[in-house]
């Protein structure tokens, strides 16, 4: 690609953009529910340990590879490995994965926007109807909502790194934080909310089984956008003088803080408006929580703050989740866009138009796989269950390949690029990193237990998803 490579204009811009990629639907809804079902404070503790002990070194591996090569994941793997065919395959995986994840994330973002529109329109009672979601996802209106979401993503990405992604992150991320804090303060003033706080924060270590520990690690890994090629791509936009280790710590801290704060919003709200709730009855699915359970929670607010007030709170929540979804979607789709620009030397506008067209077609097919088109609804059958096209994309690219990509970047950095080069790269711009305990920990962990843990996650995911059994029993 001709000309100087795009760069983030400031350190805070990079941190907010990287945090925006990490902060998504899983943080705001999936994490609190996971904590509720798996021991509350004990799950929180394990999650925090995994973020900083396991995920942070993998983040550093991805960011340093991107910054050193100044290329997309495919270009970075190829350049550092001297065009090794097997590492080119790893590069292709790191490009294909975010592209396909963008497909299903687009569908979910469209649903969120549709619910935001209905909440703002004052149709909260309609959203709280248990039949609404099933009707909504098969209604023609989702294609109109999809056009709006595509337009928003295009406007951000066509502005490039500094004028598009960074500017959007500087606007959307602070707005997201303010809305989240506002909703937390409101929820904590409700009757019985403290019961939810107590359940959420006080550990119940008796629930810490091997599968729960695996769930906390998987949540931490997915939550930080690892294995998607995002941090390699964003790393390629960082100046050589930037302090990568400190930036990575701040991204991890921001992501963890948002997940924890989201728990202070979701759990007290549930306990406040349904004091008899059994946490084991909560849906494992973030989608189920957002679109079927929480609208009823918001509707229950009308008894104390009126229908208009309840609709306002619901609108604020869906706007919050929409902002989180958009920042994630932008980051995910930037990876294949950057790759096409780098590898083929095309303009950003051309890359967006061509890849965007394919992604929209696949998103439409996925949106039609909920009963509208039988072939797409029963697309495959494995582990004794019929799977839609939407399900298959999530199972293969989100659940399975992400930990594999994480494993590959660890092996690549330590054994192909070599740990000496990796450490030297991280020392650039970071005066205190060289010779530090943190440097020694990152080096040793990437050589030993982190790849082993990621391998176990990958094998267990394959066993559970495609053969119906867990290696943990």
The span from the CA of 431 to the CA of 1, in Å, is 32
Token pair in block for residue 11: 């350190």
Report yes or no: 390 and 110 within 8 Å, Cβ to Cβ: no
Report yes or no: 37 and 282 within 8 Å, Cβ to Cβ: yes
Neighbours of 462 (CB within 10 A): 16
Q: Tell me the CA end-to-end span of the chain in Å, nearest whole number.
A: 50
The span from the CA of 292 to the CA of 311, in Å, is 15
What would the pLDDT profile of 283-334 be if each residue is shown by its tens digit?
556 677 788 888 988 888 888 889 999 999 999 999 999 999 999 999 999 9
Handedness of CA 294, 104, 408, 169 (dihedral sign): negative
The span from the CA of 12 to the CA of 8, in Å, is 9
The span from the CA of 58 to the CA of 451, in Å, is 10
Predicted confidence band of residue 441 (pLDDT cuts 50, 70, 90): very high
Give residue 300's pLDDT. 83
Give residue 279's pLDDT. 66
Neighbours of 8 (CB within 10 A): 22
For the chain, the average pLDDT equals 89
Predicted confidence band of residue 4 (pLDDT cuts 50, 70, 90): low
Token pair in block for residue 43: 């799950």
Domains observed in the chain: 11-467 (1.10.4160)
pLDDT at 1 over 60: no
pLDDT at 36 over 80: no
What would the pLDDT profile of 89-111 be if each residue is shown by its tens digit?
999 999 999 999 999 999 999 99
pLDDT at 214 over 80: no
Report yes or no: 80 and 417 within 8 Å, Cβ to Cβ: yes
Give residue 388's pLDDT. 96
Give residue 118's pLDDT. 95
pLDDT at 233 over 90: yes
Give residue 198's pLDDT. 85
Give residue 459's pLDDT. 92
In DSSP terms, which residues pair with 381 in a beta bridge? 386
Alpha-carbon separation of residue 168 from 53, 159, 177, 257 (angstroms): 30, 10, 14, 20
Neighbours of 192 (CB within 10 A): 12
pLDDT at 361 over 70: yes
Average pLDDT over residues 160-164: 87
pLDDT at 174 over 70: yes
What would the pLDDT profile of 242-273 be if each residue is shown by its tens digit?
899 999 999 999 888 988 998 898 888 888 87
Map residue 441 onto helix, strand or coil.
helix
221-235 burial string, b = 16+ CB within 10 Å, else e? Answer: bbbbbbbbbbbbbbb
What would the pLDDT profile of 70-86 be if each residue is shown by its tens digit?
999 999 999 999 989 99
224 or 209, greater pLDDT: 224
Average pLDDT over residues 357-376: 96
Give residue 199's pLDDT. 82
Report yes or no: 389 and 366 within 8 Å, Cβ to Cβ: yes
Predicted confidence band of residue 2 (pLDDT cuts 50, 70, 90): very low
C-alpha 172: how far from its chain's center? Answer: 16
Token pair in block for residue 48: 């925090």
Q: What percent of the chain has pLDDT over 70?
A: 97
Give residue 355's pLDDT. 97
List, in order, residues 6 or more apart from 95 with CB less than 8 Å away.
Answer: 72, 73, 74, 229, 335, 336, 339
Average pLDDT over residues 274-278: 72
The span from the CA of 9 to the CA of 254, in Å, is 20
In DSSP terms, which residues pair with 387 in a beta bridge? 380
pLDDT at 211 over 70: no
**Residue with structure tokens 């290329």?**
71
């Amino acid at each position: 690609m001709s000309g100087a490579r795009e760069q983030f204009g400031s350190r805070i811009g990079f941190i907010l953009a990287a945090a925006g990629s990490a902060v998504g639907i899983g943080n705001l809804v999936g994490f609190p529910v996971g904590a509720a079902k798996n021991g509350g404070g004990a799950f929180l503790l394990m999650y925090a340990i995994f973020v900083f002990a396991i995920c942070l070194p993998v983040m550093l591996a991805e960011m340093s590879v991107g910054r050193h090569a100044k290329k997309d994941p495919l270009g970075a793997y190829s350049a550092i490995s001297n065009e090794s065919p097997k590492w080119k395959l790893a590069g292709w995986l790191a490009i294909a994965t975010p592209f396909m994840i963008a497909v299903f994330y687009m569908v979910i973002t469209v649903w969120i926007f549709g619910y935001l529109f209905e909440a703002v329109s004052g149709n909260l009672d309609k959203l709280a109807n248990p039949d609404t979601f099933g009707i909504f996802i098969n209604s023609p209106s989702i294609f109109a909502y999809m056009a709006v979401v595509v337009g928003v993503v295009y406007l951000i990405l066509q502005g490039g790194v500094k004028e598009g992604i960074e500017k959007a992150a500087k606007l959307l991320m602070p707005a997201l934080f303010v809305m989240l804090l506002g909703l937390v303060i409101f929820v904590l003033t409700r009757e019985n909310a403290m019961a939810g706080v107590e359940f959420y924060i006080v550990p119940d270590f008796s629930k810490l089984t091997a599968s729960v520990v695996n769930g906390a690690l998987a949540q931490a890994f997915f939550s930080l956008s690892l294995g998607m090629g995002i941090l390699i791509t964003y790393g390629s936009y960082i100046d050589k003088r930037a302090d990568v280790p400190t930036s990575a710590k701040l991204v991890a801290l921001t992501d963890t803080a948002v997940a924890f704060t989201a728990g202070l919003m979701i759990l007290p709200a549930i306990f406040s408006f349904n004091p008899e709730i059994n946490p084991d009855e909560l849906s494992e699915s973030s989608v189920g929580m957002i679109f079927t359970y929480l609208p009823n929670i918001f509707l229950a607010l009308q008894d104390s703050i009126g229908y208009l007030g309840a609709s306002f709170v619901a609108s604020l929540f869906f706007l919050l989740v929409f902002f989180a979804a958009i920042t994630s979607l932008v980051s995910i789709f930037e990876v294949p866009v950057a790759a096409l620009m780098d590898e083929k030397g095309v303009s950003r506008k051309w890359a967006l138009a061509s890849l965007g067209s394919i992604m929209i077609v696949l998103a439409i097919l996925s949106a039609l796989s909920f009963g509208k088109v039988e072939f797409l609804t029963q697309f495959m059958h494995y582990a004794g269950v019929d799977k839609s096209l939407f399900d298959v994309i999530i199972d293969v690219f989100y659940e399975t390949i992400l930990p594999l990509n994480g494993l590959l970047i660890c092996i690549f950095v330590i054994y192909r690029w070599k740990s000496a080069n990796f450490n030297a790269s991280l020392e650039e711009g970071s005066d205190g990193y060289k010779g530090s305990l943190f440097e020694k920990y990152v080096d040793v962990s990437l050589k030993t237990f982190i790849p082993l843990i990621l391998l176990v996650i990958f094998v267990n995911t394959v066993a559970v998803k495609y053969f119906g059994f867990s290696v943990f029993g």
